[in-house]
Amino acid sequence: MTPITSRLSPSQPTDDASELAAHCAALTERNAELARRNAELEARLRSLCRDLRVPVEGILDVSAGLSERLLPGARAELAKVEEAAKRITETMEAMLRLTRISQTEISRRPVNLSDLAERVTEELRAREPSRSVTVEIQPSLDASGDAWMLRVLLEGLLSNAWRFTAERPSATVRVGCENRAGENVFFVRDDGAGFDRADAGRLFRPFERLHPALSGTGLGLVTVQGVVERHGGRVWADSQPGQGATFYFTLGAHV
């Protein structure tokens, strides 16, 4: 019987291993280069925000001094300038927060999302005491994650719900959790303006605004997505126009 011989030459396995090693080395170098460029961009962003903060604060200080000496019509115009300056400040702070999330190491530990949601709600009420919003928070929403990042996440989702229920004389926001196939799926639900499901893909893009009149910095949901992804989870939304919206998120496994 004729012996069966390999079609591969004796040197081919070694060549394949060398090619794989070279490919891995190239990927490692490429990843290092991308990380370096990202770090440079983030450093420039922080520097830009710091540079812009001084003149913006100057505008607000001057506006506060002028307001008392102007006629009512001029005060109204000046108020627009102040509002624009405040929006710039809020946007810069949001950009810095997003940068921090991308850089900060996650420190996972047990976190009570119910307590965090209560604190965020109290802050929202203090900012707009005239609003009538019922907030129902499911007790003992236990999770595992970075406490600071999860607070930022809830600030983003609850602030979003607060804004998009602004046109309702009496609004309701619910924070809770569902178990789906053994996985905890947390949610924030409101009965506000809602959105078309066809536009759901735009929600987590920077500076996309489905309702310009009600929108904030355009980075709130992007930041929420950043926190969820850092935890190895998923975030998505469901809604219909005029019937409110529900934002769902998971936080991945605690390894």
Instruction: Say how far apart CA 135 and CA 112 lie, in whole Å.
Output: 17
Alpha helices in 68-168 (DSSP H): 72-103, 113-127, 147-164
What pLDDT score was predicted for residue 217?
Answer: 67
Domain 109-249 of CATH type 3.30.565.10? yes
What pLDDT score was predicted for residue 12?
Answer: 57
Instruction: Say how far apart CA 33 and CA 189 lie, in whole Å.
Output: 41
Profile the chain (255 residues) by mean pLDDT over runs of 10 residues: 48 68 76 62 64 69 70 75 76 79 87 97 94 96 95 95 92 96 94 83 73 65 92 93 93 69
Instruction: Say how far apart CA 68 and CA 72 lie, in whole Å.
Output: 9
Instruction: Say how far apart CA 173 and CA 176 lie, in whole Å.
Output: 10
> What angle, rounded to 10 degrees, do the helices at 147-164 and 113-127 form?
50
Q: Could you give the dihedral angle defined by the CA atoms of residues 65, 78, 127 and 219, in that order, rounded to the nearest 10 degrees? A: -120
What pLDDT score was predicted for residue 99?
Answer: 81
What does residue 133 show for φ and ψ, rounded to 5 degrees?
A: -130, 120
What pLDDT score was predicted for residue 41?
Answer: 60
Strand 133-137 relative to strand 171-180, pairing? parallel
Instruction: Say how far apart CA 250 and CA 99 lie, in whole Å.
Output: 21
What pLDDT score was predicted for residue 9?
Answer: 52
pTM above 0.85, yes or no: no
What pLDDT score was predicted for residue 195?
Answer: 84
Where in the chain are the domains? 13-103, 109-249
The residue assigned the tokens 């003149």 is 55
